[in-house]
Amino acid sequence: MSKADYYEVLGVSRTASDQELKSAYRKLALKFHPDRNPGDHAAEEKFKEASEAYQVLCDPDKRAAYDRFGHAGVGAAGAGGGFQGFSGSVDLGDIFGDLFGEMFNMGGGGGGRASRQQRGDDLRFDLSIEFEDAIFGKETEVKIRRLESCPTCAGRGSASGRGPSVCTHCQGRGQIRYQQGFFSVARTCSACGGTGSIIGDPCQTCRGETRVSKELKLTVKVPPGVEDGTRIRYAGEGDAGRTNGPRGDLYVVLSIQPHDFFERDGHDLRCVVPISFPQAALGAEIEIQAIDGAVTLKIPEGTQSGKEIRIRGRGVPVLHGKGHGDLVVKVIVQVPRKLSRQQREVVHRLSELLSVENKPTSPSLLEKMKDLFN
């Protein structure tokens, strides 16, 4: 039975580059790999066929011999000997590495010992603050619980201080390899947890874990101008690492409580202030309370209900920067629900002097009228 042309097997031209060969083989190997097609002998044969073709064509000398003499020019692989395994020129780590990392390794060799010293985990602490604290900043003390190096064994995990011994289950590699088809798959050793070592006489305080849980106080500095959801990072304030490994980080996530009167809009503050009809019609200067103290609000003559008046520089400070946003005040003309007899008489006299033609108006025209009066 004649063997298929290697270029046809990979689906490339005879002038294909090394990268094109690699890409074509990678697609076929992933499609027909025995682990993805358990019990499918046809897929296994296609995988062997593609692997044999790539083994020859990826080697410049073998490819030149194959191009000149065909299968007869590449020895056993070209003379019907079948798939004989990969030569050293085939780097599966290069082919599969971006998908499977270090899971695939040839031949079951390699695999260095995992280090027992590990970096500690990062921690998160949710802190709720008042609206004013987000504007002006605040310094507060919080309680957190984190893992500290065991004081009894000084983070070694051993009662005698002798330290750990090599794990006999994985021979100190931290991994156990299982043969699957043409590959060996590395899995973390269940006996030592991937550290490659076991503590024979665990510390009674930490039970060999090298760390214990402890509650402590930490001062958190909230800078002025923070927003809801801001994360403040404290480097090296997370959990201690195993066997005196480096600490993780602490992230304080801020949650800002709403204010009774003010709303935040970026660096601006917004609020609503009621005014009387005479103030709106004649104009006025009134004193209102901003977030940082009293401020004078100047109401122009003929102000319409719903108009927004901007007071520069009385908003939120720029975080880690200079300047402030503005205070935007929306004035609403307040209509009294009850009038005294004297007030009624005045309003009646005014209504005789002021006349408005009450006809339906389209919203667009109404907006144009508001702009004209403003």
Binding residues for Zn(2+): 150, 153, 167, 170, 189, 192, 203, 206
Is there a contact between 267 and 325 (Cβ–Cβ < 8 Å)?
Answer: yes
State the pairing for strand pair 165-166/197-198. Answer: antiparallel
Annotated binding site: 150, 153, 167, 170, 189, 192, 203, 206
